[in-house]
Structure 1
């Protein structure tokens, strides 16, 4: 197959240069896509708030940052993006749901994590009822997110559920279990360790 440049780039052809069969002539139109980069500075209260926050070392640090969630009337899911020293890179509001549910898909969570070059993630969501006890759906999505993080090489450090009156539950303290055990879940209220 012969590729012919655009007509405006093709020199005039004499009759003897034109191929005998016009079916052997293929015209290809190419478009060059050139990436454009622009420095954009976004100033908002959240970016200043996060810039002042020190590195995250425990669930208590995360719970303090997200204490405002206890006043939300709808379930809201956040992903906190951290660098390899647990410093905050980005805060992603993944989903705002209803009174009892929030739709979270690993594709949406890890899309922004990859774009921010996050080394680790901490997930946080609230229970508007005020009871931070994890539901079966909470365990299910935590397992899916942990598996996706492992596949992509992004550590999932913790998943906190914020309740009322400063209460919260860390779903990873003592090791993650996909289903709550009959004698009590692996999640413990108000305690977690970051590795």
Structure 2
């Protein structure tokens, strides 16, 4: 009797040359890039959680949407975070989510999640450089700038 199992394939397809990738040098750079790629029709309606995937030179390999939630929150599965990070062979990430209400202050769950992802990243030598909160008006809060990461 033949035992059958699924074949697992891991694939990352980067079509943009590394020298052409945008570099992130500050929270302002990261927030501008994220805001540019955020769905403006929904930023004030519900929360979404995204991450910038970076190479060792802090060049952006891509943006990945981790979840889309409700008006006051969205759920993140840390296993999915690191599945994506490892699949893309990224060495650093910047986390981001929006607050539809326009509130710039992070909640306690925001802080706890950031710390949990940061600790998990340390196991893989993945740097969590920042966690940004974006508002519909284009304002942002940076955990790194405020010494929270």
Shorter-chain TM-score tier: 0.7 to 0.9
SS in 2 for 1:166: coil
Partners of 2:35 and 2:146 in 1: CA distance = 23
User: Is 1:67 aligned with 2:29?
Assistant: no
Indicate how the Cα distance of structure 1 residues 37 and 119 shifts in structure 2: closer, same or farther if over 3 A, else same.
closer
Instruction: Name the counterpart of 2:92.
Output: 120
Structure 1 contact 131–164 (Cα < 8 Å) conserved: no
What TM-score, normalized by structure 1, do the two folds share? 0.63
Indicate how the Cα distance of structure 1 residues 37 and 132 shifts in structure 2: closer, same or farther if over 3 A, else same.
closer
Instruction: Name the counterpart of 2:49.
Output: 77
Where does structure 1 lack aligned partners over 5 or more consecutive residues? 1-27, 178-195
Higher relative contact order structure (alpha carbons within 8 Å, sequence separation ≥ 6):
2
Where does structure 2 lack aligned partners over 5 or more consecutive residues? none
User: Is 1:141 aligned with 2:113?
Assistant: yes
Shift of 1:163: 1.3
What TM-score, normalized by structure 2, do the two folds share? 0.81
Given candidates 82, 90, 93, the residue that maps to 2:62 is: 90
SS in 2 for 1:77: strand
After TM superposition, the structure 1 = structure 2 runs for residues 172-187 of structure 1, keeping only pairs within 5 Å, are: 172-176=144-148
For 1:115-168, what per-residue CA distance to the aligned partner results, in whole angstroms no more than 9, with x for missing partners? 000010000110011112101110010011100111111000000000132210
Indicate how the Cα distance of structure 1 residues 70 and 148 shifts in structure 2: closer, same or farther if over 3 A, else same.
same
After TM superposition, the structure 1 = structure 2 runs for residues 11-26 of structure 1, keeping only pairs within 5 Å, are: none
Structure 2 contact 67–74 (Cα < 8 Å) conserved: yes
Instruction: Name the counterpart of 1:159.
Output: 131
Larger Rg over CA atoms: 1
Structure 1 contact 132–168 (Cα < 8 Å) conserved: yes
Shift of 1:175: 3.0
For 1:6-61, what per-residue CA distance to the aligned partner results, in whole angstroms no more than 9, with x for missing partners? xxxxxxxxxxxxxxxxxxxxxx747798888999788xxxx8xxx96621111001
Segment of structure 1 superposing worse, 151-160 or 52-61: 52-61
